[in-house]
Amino acid sequence: MMKALLRAAPALLLAATVQAQPLAPPAVPADADPVLAGLIRESLARRPELRQADALVDAERERVPQAGAFQDPILTLGIQNDGFNGLQIGKMDTSYYQVMVTQPLTWPGKRGFRSDVASTGVRIAEATVMRARLTAEADVRRTYLDLLLARDRLALLTRLEALWTKAEGLARSRYENGEGAQSDVLRAQLERNRLRQRRWALEAEERTRVQAVNRLRAHPLDEPFPTSVSVATQALPGLPAQEAALADAERRSPELLVARLQAERATQQVAVARRDRYPDLALTAAIMPRGSLEPMWAAGISMTLPIFSGSKQSRAVAEGEARAAASDGGAEAVLQVLRLRVQERLAQLANLLESAALYREGLIVQSQATADSTLGQYRVGRVTFASVLEAIAGVINDEDGLLQTVAAAQRLSIAAGEVSLEPAGGGAGGLSSGSIPGAGAASGGPSATAGAAPATGGDAGSSSSSMNKM
């Protein structure tokens, strides 16, 4: 009896290790993470792209008074003299000095229309700043999420390494008691060595993610910082109603705002072109001192004659109208793409939420039950060691699938907050058996993991396939 218990002890310990991961950790909203909140504040305060966008807004604001200002007056200094035998000023009536000032005057309304065009340019620049800030925050959120996922997968890899160690002990115990094959021990040792290579790759990815986060907050690239949450503990985003999501995206989209402002500016430029058909004026005042003689003075008004309006001003109006029509079409195109992206994200998010629920309520529970059953059968010699390894890998693989599904849903939520026009990635939340290192151990080693394609479901690059690519 005691001998049977000793033989069963490694299997019991292995079963306890498989079940060590909680199935439903407490959910924490992403915005409740103080580390993430601090990273976003630092990035918005220090990122050079935002300073550049703010400076461009200041530059556009300086153009408004320029567009509405009068043209500079023209000062003309001259002399008129009779003959070449010396100055005749004061001696001859037609000899004098001349001081003349000319003030150009645009036709009424032109300066106002040009100021309107410049003011719309300021609003376009401000919308560009909105886009820069939304993108800066989304970049931090995505990169931080990738870091959390890399660290979570490292933790899963640590669990898998422990499982392989226990499995090796179980196989060795059965082999020493004459109940197992030496190949089972060698197989467990082989997989543990392969996991070492995969760990190096994941650790390198974690360092890369840390460097990316530090770059976004203008810190030394290799400066470490702790994280207090994991992907598994983050709450899944809610699924908004389609009408509300569309209305929110149309209200907050910087691209749509820019497209509409460009259409508005094109219409204003048509008004400027039409006003340019009218002539500009110039007022002239001059005084001609004549020495001892009574000074002379002159005043006048002049205007441009738009006699070539058919080939200039009228053509400018037609050009402006064509550009305005093009801008209207551009705004409509942006609106269509925006609506498409919103509905794409909603469809994928609904799929990911269902997949996450299936993982938490079915797959992980079933995987653990399968692993327990397989271990029990292995103890009495009814299944092979390969079945044990496959069952263990199945538990870890399903937990990895849940991690990636939650991360994919978070990426979609980040893209919605960013009001991104980028296509949403295709992620169904389903994972092949090789998406976690060692998952294919029972069916052919590394070749079983080479073609795995875990879901990402995000709008940005992720570390979702880092394990199976190592």
Residue type, position 168, single letter? E
* pTM for the model: 0.76
Percent of the chain beyond pLDDT 70?
A: 80
What is the average pLDDT value for the chain, to the nearest integer?
80
Q: Which residue has the higher pLDDT, 27 or 306?
A: 306
pLDDT tens, position by position, 406-459: 999 999 999 999 999 998 764 333 333 334 333 343 333 333 333 333 333 334
| Number of other residues whose CB lies within 10 A of the CB of residue 67 | 18
Q: Residue 15 pLDDT > 70, yes or no?
A: no
Confidence of residue 150 (pLDDT cuts 50, 70, 90): very high
CB contact burial 432-463 (16+ within 10 A = b; e otherwise)? bbbbbbbbbbbeeebebbeebebbbbbbbebb
Residue 120 pLDDT > 60: yes
**Three-class SS state of 296:** strand
Residue 470 lies in a domain: no
Token pair recorded at residue 144: 């931080």
How far is Cα 393 from Cα 390, in angstroms, rounded to an integer?
5
267, two tokens: 């219409």
User: What gap in Å lies between CA 115 and CA 65, rounded to an integer?
Assistant: 7
Virtual torsion, Cα 132, 136, 139, 144, nearest 10 deg: -170
- For residue 201, is pLDDT > 80? yes
Is residue 128 pLDDT above 70, yes or no? yes
**Each residue of 77-109: pLDDT tens digit?**
999 999 888 888 888 888 999 999 999 999 999
Asked whether the beta carbons of 463 and 432 are under 8 A apart, the reply is: no
- CA distances for 335 relative to 330, 332, 338, angstroms: 9, 5, 5
When mean pLDDT is compared over 230-244, 302-316, 340-354, 361-375, the highest value belongs to 340-354
Poorest-pLDDT segment among 112-126, 306-320, 417-431: 417-431
User: 57-72: per-residue pLDDT in tens?
Assistant: 999 999 999 999 999 9
Q: Of all residues in the chain, what percent are helix, strand and coil, respectively (each to 5)?
A: 65, 10, 25
Q: What are phi and psi of 422, to 5 degrees?
A: -75, 145
Greatest mean pLDDT among 10-14, 227-231, 305-309, 334-338: 334-338
Domain that holds residue 298: 2-448
Pick from 147, 135, 154: nearest CA to 36:
147
**DSSP strand pairing (74-80 vs 96-105):** antiparallel
Average pLDDT on 195-210 reads 88
The token pair that represents 447 in the structure block: 């070749």
The b/e string for 250-279 (b: 16+ C-beta within 10 A; e otherwise) is eeebbbbbbbbbbbbbbbbbbbbbbbbebe
Lowest mean pLDDT among 171-185, 341-355, 360-374: 171-185
Task: For residues 383-409, give the mean pLDDT.
Answer: 83
- Residue 419 covered by a domain: yes
Contacts of 408 (CB under 8 A, 6+ apart): 348, 352, 425, 427, 429, 455, 456, 457, 458, 462, 464
Task: Write down the pLDDT at residue 350.
Answer: 93
Instruction: Note the pLDDT of residue 366.
Output: 83
Whether 343 shows a pLDDT value over 60: the answer reads: yes
Average pLDDT of the segment spanning 130-144 = 94
Residue 186: what pLDDT?
74
Structural contact between residues 291 and 327, judged by C-beta atoms closer than 8 angstroms: no
Within a domain: 457:
no
In a domain, 392, yes or no: yes
3-state secondary structure of 437: coil
Q: At a CB cut-off of 8 Å and minimum separation 6, what does 106 contact? A: 70, 71, 280, 281
Is the model's pLDDT at 293 over the cut of 80? yes
Contacts of 223 (CB under 8 A, 6+ apart): 210, 214
Q: What is the pLDDT of residue 176?
A: 65
Domain CATH for 442? 1.20.1600.10
Residue 181 placed within a domain: yes
- First CA to last CA distance, the chain: 45
Distance CA 336, CA 355 (A): 29
| pLDDT 10s digits, 155-184 | 888 888 777 777 767 767 666 676 666 666
pLDDT at 20 over 60: no
**Is residue 461 in some structural domain?**
no
Question: pLDDT band at residue 4, thresholds of 50, 70 and 90?
Answer: very low
Asked if residue 140 is part of any domain, the answer here is yes
Structure tokens that stand for 58 in this block: 């200041």
Residue 283: φ, ψ to 5°: -100, 135
Average pLDDT (366-370) is: 82
- Kindly state whether residue 454 falls inside one of the protein's structural domains: no
281 pLDDT tier (thresholds 50, 70, 90):
very high
Domains identified in the chain, total number = 1
Residue 31 has pLDDT above 70, yes or no: no
